[in-house]
Structure 1
Amino acid sequence: MTARVRAPELRGRGWLNTGGAAYRIADLRGRFVLLDFWTFCCVNCLHVLEELRPVEEEYAEELVVVGVHSPKFVHEADPDALAAAVERYEVRHPVLDDPELITWQAYTARAWPTLVLVDPEGYVVAQYAGEGHAHALGRLLGELVEEHRARGTLQPGDSPYVAPEIEPSTLRFPADAAPLGDGRVLVADAGHDRVVELSAEGDELRSWNGFAEPNGLCVVGATAYVADTVHHQLASIDLGSGEVRVLAGDGEQWMQGDGTERLSSPWAVAWWRERVWIAMAGIHQLWTYDPTTGAVEVAGGTTNEGLLDGPLAEAWFAQTSGLAADGDRLWLADSETSSLRFVEDGVVRTAVGEGLFDFGFRDGPADQALFQHPLGVTVLPDRSVAVCDTYNGAVRRYDPATGEVTTLAGGLAEPAAAYVSGAELVVVEGNAHRLTRVPLGHASRTEGFSHTTQRPVTEVAARLRLEVTFEPPPGQKVDDRFGPPSQLVVEATPPALLREGEGRDTALTRTLVLDASVGEGVLHVAARAASCDIEGDGAACHIHQQDWGVPIRIGADADGVLTLPLGGSA
């Protein structure tokens, strides 16, 4: 028998969404507790927030969901930034602020997002990494609720959630904007789930409701194209008639095996080469929509997350969040690698940026410059590029002619996008709920800082057995009738760290041979598994998937097995 594991204490800097109250794990005894380890930069974490809402509603009296915010970026450790993110993404449960990753480490989390289920007696009963686990949690709770009710250990109660007070404003967490002429502007008003047209004076002229956190838009003639992020759709607005149409996406999130009839968190759109280019942030790809034929196609990216240049089909992207066309070149802001990149002649190249875990605030030559989670990119009149360096609260400028990065403006509240208006740049200042004008004539040099995401390093042996564990939810089984039900992809940074075992295969276990002379680096592991109902006609199937970036160091006496839980009972 496996020994039961007591749930470690909940420790952090403070709590949000509790009306000022703080909680210990013992205070929640008698109910199930689901810990959701997340960070607000992570689109997969945002997917999980949406996935969990029906489970929270179904088990409102028996289950307490606690978001444990364990940040990746420096900016995410700022308490005001976290409070804004909790408000923006409508997190409707208590949130523990864990800036030093104390609770993260206590529960041995290795990835964003990670879910840990604690039973009413305070024992860990299940752990899941990644997204796609809501149905598994629902089935497991269905069994365990009845078990604990029969034993008398379940004590249903009210949620400790207390909704924050919200100040009304014309715009709320705006995400993008496009000029319409005569000073009018179209704004993706993400916090109000709408697109709104404002006059030159900032007055509301008309609006289109029914979107869900629209994050991107572009205007082509009399048509506005909208990235309707949470609805996983591309929509259009006829600016003459006001008609709204869904052009792509059936409202369900794309999962492995789906075709282009489904999208995954489209975040930005741009008009380039007679097509709408879509930053498909949820799966790290670029897609296109042809308005003439209605065809939706994958243009670039493998769905692997990272910074890898090369032909479009082979390149790796990382939550692309901004697009801007300039002649034969399409610029893009890759937020999770804090990079500025571009597509030209069918090839992806990186102008500024180093990888998933390296970021900062530094001007100078491109190979030394650093951003922190940029969301927007704009081509300026001189063909240089303005980058909305979101988590640094700045607008930066990259000059392709000189290869230099400078700073145009600082002190902004999460700038997300911008457009040119005469001699000024109009910046969408998301967390200030406004559009802000920045002069284009002045630039400065900032040394700032450099940073590498600090997470616990795992010591491993040079010959390493990688095991991704997966257990189907109650009432389901691994179903291989239509082919292999799982997939495992392993890469490394630097690539020389991994001598044997890289690449793609269907087994969830693999032997890796690491180069001791390299010594340390990051293992990039992407896994997915499918499970289907055991009984019933038209059995439902589900995909479970996660990407890990595991910092490792080779040690002479280190463990020869690395276990990563994709999902299942503890």
Structure 2
Amino acid sequence: MVTIYGGAAPAPSMPGLSLGGDSGYPREGRITIVLFFNGARDDDLSMVDTVISLREEFKEDVDLVGVHCPRFPAERDIRRMTALLECSGVDFPVYDDSSKSIRKSYLINGWPATVVVDPKGYLAWAKEGVIPPEILRPVIKTMQRTARVVGDIKPSEQQRFKGTELNMLPVRLALFGERLVILDGKSNRLIFLNLSQDGLSASIERSIGLGRPTLSDVTGFYCSQDRVFIFDRRGRKVRIIDLKGKELGTFSGNGNPALLAGPRSFGCPKGGVCKDGLLYVASAGTHQIWVQSLSGGGASPFAGTGRPGMDDGPPSLATLGSPEAIISDGRVLFISDSYSNSIRWIDTASGMVRTLVGEGPFLYGCRDGIGSKALFQRPMGLCINEGILYVADSYNDRIRGIDLSNRQAFTLYGSKKWQRLFCPSDVAVRGDRFYVADLGSGRIVHFDKKGGEPEILDIVGLN
């Protein structure tokens, strides 16, 4: 569709919003960008970044509206997706399209997809896929110029995404000595907690704000001695701060173009781990694991072709989907892959990539078993304790365990009605006690290894 202005067909109306924001879009007198996307897919979130930047560039004349397209059944849960969208930096009204009715009315077959509606309410331009701003900007600029000449623009403020009413949205957590460190996606900050001796309560030692514009969508962190590595998805960078929040440096991921056959930098870094003087980065946007020397210099892909998939093999042939969390037992790397619903592992000596558990990108569920017999649904945070790899199985609302000696996956917590978790995003172990970032409920839950009733961690001074 390339009409730019005065399209032949009026834009279909949309139902009332159910994910936060006002209603009545598209609005007369406004250029409206309609983005069809999934809030848990990295390609889609890159389009979110693009359209937000364009809205700010043309904010006097442009409205931005999202249509959320669920991929998993769990993504039809409004409360779950509201929390996830807020953590992903979405700040515009979003319609839920679990029924696919909006996609059908706009003739959208795949997403992400971008539709532009002119101020008279007519469909003017549409394109599926990831679109660079250089393509979309001229469309908006031409439409803006025409609309202003004919007087069709009506100045108006657009309401932003309302988000949840929770005080905190714990995206990631990790034990750092006797501290429990939380990445709060609600306030975009790191919270350092001093745990009590029994581990049942905690007090805030310090809170480090990460709210600068270039750090507006932090997806992970890694504490190492006196430094913290901050993984900035929107900025496509890894930033280094000290324990007081002072910035020490930046890894941009820029490698030597002569040595790289594929992507030239980090794409949506989600997490990382330090090992033997190297920082291994889960680069979800390029479907790879990257490696960066802590002494500086250029970064380079360590494993993965850059094509999404679930192929095992040497680093130049193996494929990864969307690596989320990455940890090490000192010998190998373990990676949660939310695209293929699997847990992968990499031998750092040879770079060989293997699948620990999981059956494939489109095979998901909640099933215990050995290796490929086990099913997960969007695995997120990881931790290791006494030969067991623990997984925050977010869309199954459970904490799962994998015995590394035999690849047996089992359900540790969440299978009983009184073991209530809602979209757990990370897990950590201290002695006999587990701590869970219960993202959807906005709290830290803890329980002992015997599987007792969950308790909410009492955090003194949290606001």
Q: TM-score, normalised by structure 1?
A: 0.69
Map Cα deviations across residues 279-313 of structure 1 (whole Å, 9 max, x no partner).
01121110112213444221111221122211112
Amino acid at match of 1:367: S
| Alpha-carbon spacing, 1:163–1:69, altered in 2? closer, same or farther (3 Å) | closer
1:233 CA drift (Å): 1.8
RMSD: 2.9
Q: Which residue pairs with 1:209 in the alignment?
A: 209
Contact 1:362–1:371 (CA<8 Å) still a contact in 2?
Answer: yes
C-alpha separation between the residues in 1 aligned to 2:390 and 2:21? 40
Q: What is the CA distance between 1:413 and its match in structure 2?
A: 2.4
Poorly superposed stretches of 4+, deviation over 6 Å: 257-261
Aligned to 1:23: 24
| Partner secondary structure for residue 367 of structure 1 | helix
Are residues 54 and 180 of structure 1, via their aligned partners in 2, closer, same or farther at CA, if it must alter by over 3 Å? closer
Equivalent residues of 1:12, 1:97 under 8 A apart: no
Q: Are residues 281 and 41 of structure 1, via their aligned partners in 2, closer, same or farther at CA, if it must alter by over 3 Å? A: same
Q: Tell me if structure 1 keeps the 8 A contact 2:433–2:447.
A: yes
Matching residue of 1:505: none
Residue identity over aligned pairs, in percent, reads 26
Amino acid at match of 2:173: A
Which residue does the alignment assign to 1:197? 192
Residue ranges of structure 1 left out of the alignment (5+ in a row): 444-570
The 5 Å alignment of 1:224-243 reads 224-239=228-243, 243=246
Structure 2 residue 327 is matched with structure 1 residue 324: yes
Alpha-carbon distance between aligned partners in 1 of 2:13 and 2:85, rounded to the nearest angstrom: 19
Match for residue 273 of structure 2 among 270, 275, 294: 270
Q: Which amino acid aligns with 2:121?
A: G
| Structure 1 residues 81 and 13: alpha-carbon distance in aligned structure 2, compared to 1, 3 A threshold | farther
What CA deviation, in whole Å up to 9, does each residue of 1:345-396 have, x standing for no partner?
3211112223333211222333222111111122221x12111111111111
Which residue is equivalent to 2:179?
184
Query: 1:90 Cα deviation (Å)?
Result: 4.2
Higher strand share: 1
Structure 2 counterpart of 1:399: 403
Which stretch of structure 1 is more off in the superposition, 39-48 or 211-220? 211-220
The residue aligned with 1:116 is 115
Once the two structures are TM-superposed, the CA of residue 142 in structure 1 deviates from its matched residue by 1.5
Are 1:164 and 2:165 matched, yes or no? no
Match of 2:456 in 1: none
Hey, what's the Cα distance between the residues in 2 that align with 1:84 and 1:161? 18
* Counterpart-to-counterpart distance in 1, 2:294 and 2:53: 35
- 1:335, CA displacement in angstroms? 0.6
Give the 5 Å matches for 1:82-481: 82-152=81-151, 154-161=152-159, 164=162, 167=165, 169=167, 172-181=168-177, 183-200=178-195, 201-210=201-210, 211-239=215-243, 243-249=246-252, 262-344=265-347, 345-381=350-386, 383-410=387-414, 411-442=420-451
Specify whether residues 250 and 184 from structure 1 end up closer, same or farther in structure 2 by C-alpha distance, changes over 3 A only: same
CA shift, 1:184, in A, is 1.7
1:45 aligned counterpart, secondary structure? helix
The answer as to whether partners of 1:60 and 1:158 remain within 8 angstroms in 2 is no
- Greater shift, 120-129 or 266-275, is seen at 120-129
Say how many residue pairs are matched: 429
Amino acid at match of 1:310: G
Distance 1:368 1:10 in 2: 45
Structure 2 residue ranges without an equivalent (≥5): 196-200, 415-419, 453-463
Query: Structure 2: which amino acid aligns with 1:395?
Result: I
Are the equivalent residues in 2 in contact too, given 1:332–1:340 (CA < 8 A)? Answer: yes
Amino acid at match of 1:176: R
In structure 2, how many angstroms separate the alpha carbons of the residues matched to 1:220 and 1:90?
A: 26
- In the TM superposition, residue 92 of structure 1 has moved relative to its aligned partner by 2.9
CA contact (8 A) 2:17 2:95 kept: yes
Is the Cα contact below 8 Å between 2:263 and 2:306 reproduced in 1? Answer: no
Gap change, CA 1:273 and 1:7, over 3 Å in 2: farther
Name which one, 1 or 2, has greater alpha-carbon Rg.
1
> Any conservation in 1 of the 2:19–2:78 contact (CA below 8 Å)?
no
Contact 1:248–1:263 (CA<8 Å) still a contact in 2?
no
TM-score scaled to structure 2, two decimals?
A: 0.83
Give the conservation status (yes or no) of the 8 Å contact 1:216–1:267: yes
CA distance in 2, matches of 1:218, 1:149: 49
2-side partners of 1:86 and 1:330: how far apart?
29
Aligned 8 A contact 2:253 2:300 in 1: no
- Partners of 2:17 and 2:93 within 8 A in 1: no
Which residue matches 2:461?
none
Three-state SS of the structure 2 residue aligned to 1:40 is: coil
The aligned counterpart of 1:78 is: 77
Q: 1:2 to 1:339 in 2, by over 3 A?
A: closer
Query: 1:274: how far off?
Result: 3.4
Q: Structure 1 pair 258/266, CA: closer, same or farther in 2 (3 Å)?
A: farther
Assess if the C-alpha contact under 8 Å between 2:83 and 2:169 holds in 1: no
How far, CA to CA, are the matches of 1:149 and 1:193 in structure 2? 38
